Chain A
Amino acid sequence: NAGVTQTPKFQVLKTGQSMTLQCAQDMNHNSMYWYRQDPGMGLRLIYYSASEGTTDKGEVPNGYNVSRLNKREFSLRLESAAPSQTSVYFCASSRSSGGLYNEQFFGPGTRLTVL
């Protein structure tokens, strides 16, 4: 099992460019999450999908869109990248949302720089 995979691992964009970060999990988990991690800020939730077909905003959704393509895949899109979106992005998944089964498993991260 690969667990949670993310592509690409690194990306450099110019201001105004768009891109999509891909995430896939092979653990048959229902819930998936996108976080960003900045120095001194911990992990902040951008969007999450409690189950296939649903998505909800997290703490810092502005400038991002998501798509839960199927149970395995959850993508994050930056429509017009800004330097403030320079960060490390992590995708995570969990068996379910809520209760005792919300242990989240994380991918290796995507390091994004916006010039």
Chain B
Amino acid sequence: QKEVEQDPGPLSVPEGAIVSLNCTYSNSAFQYFMWYRQYSRKGPELLMYTYSSGNKEDGRFTAQVDKSSKYISLFIRDSQPSDSATYLCAMSGGSSNTGKLIFGQGTTLQVKP
């Protein structure tokens, strides 16, 4: 079993839809949770960063962490064609925290005009 599981999709939605992207994980020591966005043929870039449990909002994006369920989510409101990309969750932390990130497989999202 992978430490971090993410549905690879692809996910296709109409413009304006609410998108929900999810990851589950098995390591209860994870404390730092990130979402990266990767446009086609580009390097990933950090979108959201959350420490421990809770919600964080940034414009149309909301990240949620539920440590009790080992489940994290990224919500995109009023999705736009420019949101079409691959979204990767990533996590780190623990007693021997070395900063190494464990990534999910990535979910490819297409927002159709």
Measured CB to CB, the residues of A under 8 A from B are: 4, 31, 33, 40-45, 48, 50, 56, 58, 90, 92, 94, 96-100, 102-109
A45 partner, pick from B32, B45, B100, B105, beta carbons under 8 A: B100
User: Is B99 a contact of A98 with CB atoms below 8 Å?
Assistant: yes
Known: A102-B32, A106-B44. A40 touches B99 (CB 8 A): no
CB distance from A48 to the nearest CB of B (A): 6
Q: Enumerate chain A residues within 8 angstroms of B69, measured Cβ to Cβ.
A: none
Contact of B45 among A44, A48, A96, A106 (CB under 8 A): A106
A37 to B79, CA, bound (A): 26
Residue of A nearest to B3 (CB): A59
Is residue B46 within 8 Å, beta carbon to beta carbon, of the partner chain? yes
**Which among B6, B42, B100 is the interface contact of A108 at CB below 8 angstroms?**
B42
A56 nearest in chain B by CB position: B98
Sampled A-B contacts (29; CB under 8 Å): A4-B43, A33-B100, A40-B105, A42-B104, A42-B106, A43-B101, A45-B100, A45-B101, A50-B98, A50-B99, A92-B43, A97-B98, A97-B99, A98-B92, A99-B97, A100-B32, A102-B32, A102-B92, A103-B34, A103-B46, A104-B46, A104-B101, A105-B45, A105-B46, A106-B43, A106-B45, A109-B41, A109-B42, A109-B43
